[in-house]
Structure 1
Amino acid sequence: MDTNRKLTDITDKKPRTTSYKYSFRLNEEQNIRFKELLCKSVLEHNRSRFIVKRIFSEEFVVVKRDPSKVQFVARLNDFYFQFQKLANNCAPVKAI
């Protein structure tokens, strides 16, 4: 009976890469600025990825969302679906 099995043999997982963890503190002004930058970025759900991209000056995209455009697109979709319903209702009449 072999009791010296490796963990990778049992789970068939690749070994983990080395990672390092850092922590830092911000004062009130810095925290407000950090949150503003985080909200402007696309990566607002992933703080650690945002911080890494900022530290190493990697490019990240800022997307500004306009609520009026979202409402317009929703109404446009509703309008489209009304035409689709009308076409579906007229199709059996055409067949006659």
Structure 2
Amino acid sequence: MIKGWGRPFDEPIDVAGRKLVTLLDAGEYIAAMPKKEHNAPEWQAAMEALLLVAEGGGPTMFVRTLRALNHHYVPEFNPKGKEPHWGRRKLKRDQ
């Protein structure tokens, strides 16, 4: 298993037309941002998560869930969703 900044993501992350394949790619992307955008709380959280995963060996999936790295991702809508439970459960005392 690869450790450190060379670890790949489970799936590459598409950000602004660029594919981030490893933790190093994501770190370099964030470091190259303009200072104003780089200092935004969501990007600071992304960088902190990258450091924790790269140096602490946590799961790379954690970094992928960050809002900053997924701000262009639109989840697929499932119109069926969860079926509602229209009936009411009858209790023993109500029978």
Greater share of strand residues, 1 or 2? Answer: 2
Q: Sort the TM-score into its range (normalised by shorter chain).
A: under 0.3
Greater share of helix residues, 1 or 2? Answer: 1
TM value normalised by structure 1 = 0.26
Larger radius of gyration: 1
Higher relative contact order (CA 8 A, sep 6+): 2
